[in-house]
Amino acid sequence: GEDVEQSLFLSVREGDSSVINCTYTDSSSTYLYWYKQEPGAGLQLLTYIFSNMDMKQDQRLTVLLNKKDKHLSLRIADTQTGDSAIYFCADLDSWGKLQFGAGTQVVVTP
Amino acid sequence: KAGVTQTPRYLIKTRGQQVTLSCSPISGHRSVSWYQQTPGQGLQFLFEYFSETQRNKGNFPGRFSGRQFSNSRSEMNVSTLELGDSALYLCASSLGGGHYEQYFGPGTRLTVT
Protein backbone atom coordinates (compact mmCIF):
# COMPACT_ATOMS: atom_id res chain seq x y z
CA GLY A 1 0.00 0.00 0.00
CA GLU A 2 0.91 3.64 -0.01
CA ASP A 3 3.34 4.76 2.69
CA VAL A 4 3.76 7.78 4.90
CA GLU A 5 7.14 8.07 6.58
CA GLN A 6 8.44 10.34 9.28
CA SER A 7 11.42 10.46 11.60
CA LEU A 8 10.79 8.87 14.98
CA PHE A 9 12.28 11.34 17.42
CA LEU A 10 13.03 15.04 17.78
CA SER A 11 14.54 16.83 20.76
CA VAL A 12 14.23 20.62 20.92
CA ARG A 13 14.95 23.32 23.47
CA GLU A 14 12.13 25.40 24.86
CA GLY A 15 11.80 28.61 22.84
CA ASP A 16 13.43 27.17 19.71
CA SER A 17 11.60 26.20 16.54
CA SER A 18 10.77 22.56 15.85
CA VAL A 19 10.58 21.12 12.37
CA ILE A 20 8.97 17.73 11.81
CA ASN A 21 9.31 16.16 8.39
CA CYS A 22 7.17 13.67 6.53
CA THR A 23 7.22 12.03 3.11
CA TYR A 24 4.35 10.29 1.37
CA THR A 25 4.05 8.22 -1.76
CA ASP A 26 0.41 8.53 -2.82
CA SER A 27 0.38 10.99 -5.69
CA SER A 28 -3.42 11.17 -5.53
CA SER A 29 -3.46 12.54 -1.97
CA THR A 30 -5.79 15.52 -1.79
CA TYR A 31 -5.30 16.58 1.80
CA LEU A 32 -2.40 16.19 4.19
CA TYR A 33 -2.75 16.47 7.94
CA TRP A 34 -0.85 16.93 11.15
CA TYR A 35 -2.24 15.41 14.33
CA LYS A 36 -0.90 15.62 17.89
CA GLN A 37 -1.27 12.86 20.46
CA GLU A 38 -0.49 13.34 24.13
CA PRO A 39 -0.10 10.37 26.50
CA GLY A 40 -3.37 8.57 27.13
CA ALA A 41 -5.30 10.77 24.73
CA GLY A 42 -6.77 10.58 21.26
CA LEU A 43 -5.55 12.48 18.22
CA GLN A 44 -5.90 16.24 18.09
CA LEU A 45 -6.20 17.75 14.61
CA LEU A 46 -3.59 20.51 14.46
CA THR A 47 -3.80 21.61 10.87
CA TYR A 48 -4.15 20.34 7.33
CA ILE A 49 -3.26 21.53 3.87
CA PHE A 50 -4.87 21.00 0.51
CA SER A 51 -2.54 19.45 -2.03
CA ASN A 52 -2.60 22.47 -4.36
CA MET A 53 -1.18 24.74 -1.66
CA ASP A 54 2.49 25.28 -0.83
CA MET A 55 2.19 26.71 2.63
CA LYS A 56 -0.31 27.28 5.39
CA GLN A 57 0.25 29.27 8.56
CA ASP A 58 -1.84 29.04 11.70
CA GLN A 59 -0.49 30.95 14.71
CA ARG A 60 2.70 29.15 15.77
CA LEU A 61 2.27 26.41 13.16
CA THR A 62 3.56 26.55 9.60
CA VAL A 63 2.96 23.73 7.15
CA LEU A 64 5.09 23.48 4.02
CA LEU A 65 4.21 21.16 1.16
CA ASN A 66 6.52 20.22 -1.70
CA LYS A 67 4.21 18.23 -3.92
CA LYS A 68 6.91 17.43 -6.46
CA ASP A 69 9.04 15.70 -3.80
CA LYS A 70 5.99 14.53 -1.81
CA HIS A 71 7.45 16.16 1.28
CA LEU A 72 5.46 17.76 4.08
CA SER A 73 6.82 19.58 7.10
CA LEU A 74 5.41 21.12 10.25
CA ARG A 75 7.24 23.98 11.91
CA ILE A 76 6.33 24.94 15.47
CA ALA A 77 7.63 28.36 16.44
CA ASP A 78 8.64 29.17 20.02
CA THR A 79 8.26 25.54 21.15
CA GLN A 80 6.85 25.12 24.64
CA THR A 81 6.92 22.20 27.08
CA GLY A 82 3.23 21.67 26.32
CA ASP A 83 4.23 20.84 22.76
CA SER A 84 5.88 17.61 23.94
CA ALA A 85 3.84 14.86 22.30
CA ILE A 86 3.76 12.49 19.35
CA TYR A 87 3.01 14.16 16.02
CA PHE A 88 1.45 12.20 13.20
CA CYS A 89 1.51 13.08 9.56
CA ALA A 90 -1.35 11.64 7.49
CA ASP A 91 -2.66 11.80 3.98
CA LEU A 92 -6.15 11.25 2.68
CA ASP A 93 -6.01 8.52 0.11
CA SER A 94 -8.20 8.13 -2.95
CA TRP A 95 -10.62 5.97 -0.94
CA GLY A 96 -11.17 8.74 1.57
CA LYS A 97 -9.32 7.14 4.45
CA LEU A 98 -6.42 8.52 6.44
CA GLN A 99 -3.03 6.85 6.02
CA PHE A 100 -0.78 7.68 8.98
CA GLY A 101 2.94 7.78 9.51
CA ALA A 102 4.49 6.08 12.53
CA GLY A 103 4.62 9.35 14.47
CA THR A 104 7.44 11.63 15.64
CA GLN A 105 8.07 11.83 19.38
CA VAL A 106 8.89 15.46 20.20
CA VAL A 107 10.61 16.12 23.50
CA VAL A 108 10.96 19.72 24.62
CA THR A 109 13.72 20.38 27.13
CA PRO A 110 13.98 23.46 29.35
CA LYS B 1 -20.00 21.93 20.88
CA ALA B 2 -19.23 18.58 22.47
CA GLY B 3 -16.45 16.53 20.93
CA VAL B 4 -16.39 12.91 19.89
CA THR B 5 -17.18 10.60 22.78
CA GLN B 6 -16.26 6.95 23.08
CA THR B 7 -17.42 4.41 25.62
CA PRO B 8 -16.15 2.63 27.48
CA ARG B 9 -12.71 4.22 27.90
CA TYR B 10 -11.10 1.04 29.22
CA LEU B 11 -12.02 -2.59 28.79
CA ILE B 12 -10.45 -5.88 29.81
CA LYS B 13 -11.64 -9.04 28.08
CA THR B 14 -10.57 -12.65 27.83
CA ARG B 15 -9.54 -14.45 24.66
CA GLY B 16 -12.52 -15.84 22.83
CA GLN B 17 -14.98 -13.27 24.15
CA GLN B 18 -16.58 -10.55 22.06
CA VAL B 19 -16.69 -6.82 22.66
CA THR B 20 -18.73 -3.85 21.48
CA LEU B 21 -17.35 -0.32 21.46
CA SER B 22 -19.43 2.80 21.00
CA CYS B 23 -18.73 6.15 19.37
CA SER B 24 -20.89 9.27 19.39
CA PRO B 25 -19.78 11.78 16.75
CA ILE B 26 -19.85 15.54 16.98
CA SER B 27 -23.39 16.84 16.56
CA GLY B 28 -24.20 17.23 12.88
CA HIS B 29 -21.41 14.94 11.70
CA ARG B 30 -22.58 12.05 9.57
CA SER B 31 -19.35 10.17 8.91
CA VAL B 32 -17.65 7.96 11.48
CA SER B 33 -14.36 6.16 10.92
CA TRP B 34 -12.65 3.64 13.18
CA TYR B 35 -8.91 3.13 13.62
CA GLN B 36 -6.82 0.67 15.59
CA GLN B 37 -3.62 1.90 17.22
CA THR B 38 -0.95 -0.53 18.41
CA PRO B 39 2.75 -0.01 19.17
CA GLY B 40 3.75 -2.47 16.47
CA GLN B 41 1.43 -1.56 13.60
CA GLY B 42 0.69 2.07 14.40
CA LEU B 43 -2.61 3.56 13.28
CA GLN B 44 -4.60 1.38 10.93
CA PHE B 45 -7.95 2.09 9.32
CA LEU B 46 -10.77 -0.31 10.16
CA PHE B 47 -13.87 1.06 8.42
CA GLU B 48 -15.92 4.14 7.72
CA TYR B 49 -19.66 4.70 7.90
CA PHE B 50 -21.68 7.47 6.35
CA SER B 51 -25.44 7.74 6.70
CA GLU B 52 -25.67 4.19 8.08
CA THR B 53 -23.73 2.68 5.15
CA GLN B 54 -20.23 1.28 5.24
CA ARG B 55 -18.26 3.15 2.59
CA ASN B 56 -14.74 1.88 3.21
CA LYS B 57 -13.18 -1.09 4.89
CA GLY B 58 -9.56 -1.72 5.86
CA ASN B 59 -7.64 -5.00 5.82
CA PHE B 60 -8.98 -6.58 8.96
CA PRO B 61 -10.54 -10.02 9.37
CA GLY B 62 -14.29 -10.50 9.41
CA ARG B 63 -14.21 -10.70 13.22
CA PHE B 64 -14.20 -6.91 13.11
CA SER B 65 -17.53 -5.42 12.19
CA GLY B 66 -19.39 -2.19 12.69
CA ARG B 67 -22.60 -0.37 12.16
CA GLN B 68 -24.02 3.11 12.27
CA PHE B 69 -27.39 4.18 13.55
CA SER B 70 -29.77 6.81 12.21
CA ASN B 71 -28.48 9.34 14.79
CA SER B 72 -24.92 8.78 13.39
CA ARG B 73 -23.72 6.99 16.50
CA SER B 74 -21.57 4.02 15.61
CA GLU B 75 -20.58 0.77 17.20
CA MET B 76 -17.82 -1.63 16.37
CA ASN B 77 -17.79 -5.25 17.39
CA VAL B 78 -14.91 -7.67 17.67
CA SER B 79 -15.80 -11.32 18.04
CA THR B 80 -13.61 -14.20 19.21
CA LEU B 81 -11.02 -11.87 20.71
CA GLU B 82 -7.33 -12.64 20.29
CA LEU B 83 -4.40 -11.32 22.30
CA GLY B 84 -3.32 -9.29 19.28
CA ASP B 85 -6.56 -7.33 19.38
CA SER B 86 -5.26 -5.46 22.42
CA ALA B 87 -5.07 -1.88 21.22
CA LEU B 88 -6.39 1.64 21.46
CA TYR B 89 -9.47 1.91 19.26
CA LEU B 90 -10.10 5.40 18.01
CA CYS B 91 -13.10 6.76 16.25
CA ALA B 92 -13.16 9.92 14.18
CA SER B 93 -16.08 11.95 12.97
CA SER B 94 -16.46 14.35 10.10
CA LEU B 95 -19.28 16.13 8.36
CA GLY B 96 -18.87 13.82 5.38
CA GLY B 97 -20.00 14.67 1.89
CA GLY B 98 -16.67 16.10 0.84
CA HIS B 99 -15.65 17.60 4.18
CA TYR B 100 -12.28 16.22 5.17
CA GLU B 101 -11.64 17.41 8.70
CA GLN B 102 -11.69 14.34 10.90
CA TYR B 103 -11.91 14.82 14.66
CA PHE B 104 -10.93 12.00 16.95
CA GLY B 105 -12.33 10.82 20.23
CA PRO B 106 -10.20 9.84 23.25
CA GLY B 107 -10.29 6.17 22.32
CA THR B 108 -11.16 2.91 24.03
CA ARG B 109 -8.22 1.00 25.47
CA LEU B 110 -8.96 -2.72 25.00
CA THR B 111 -6.81 -5.28 26.78
CA VAL B 112 -7.27 -8.95 25.92
CA THR B 113 -5.88 -11.46 28.44
Contact at CB, B105 and A100, closer than 8 angstroms: no
CA distance A56 to A67: 14
The closest alpha carbon to A97, from B49, B83, B69, B68, belongs to: B49
Confidence of residue A94 (pLDDT cuts 50, 70, 90): confident
pLDDT tens readout for residues A7-44 = 999 999 999 999 999 999 887 888 999 999 999 899 99
Query: Nearest CB to B33: which of A33, A97, A99?
Result: A97
CA distance A18 to B106: 26
Contact at CB, B103 and A45, closer than 8 angstroms: yes
Query: With helix as H, strand as E and coil as C, how does A65-97 read?
Result: EECCCCEEEEEECCCCHHHCEEEEEEEECCCCC
Q: Which residues of B touch A88 (CB under 8 A)?
A: 43
Q: How distant is the Cα of A27 from the closest Cα of chain B, in angstroms?
A: 17
pLDDT tens readout for residues B10-31 = 999 999 999 999 999 999 999 9
CA distance B20 to B110: 10
The 8-class DSSP code of residue B26 comes to: P
pLDDT tens readout for residues B63-100 = 999 999 999 999 999 999 999 999 999 999 998 866 68
pLDDT score of A1 more than 60 = no
Contact at CB, A48 and B101, closer than 8 angstroms: yes
pLDDT tens readout for residues B24-67 = 999 999 999 999 999 999 999 999 999 999 998 999 999 999 99
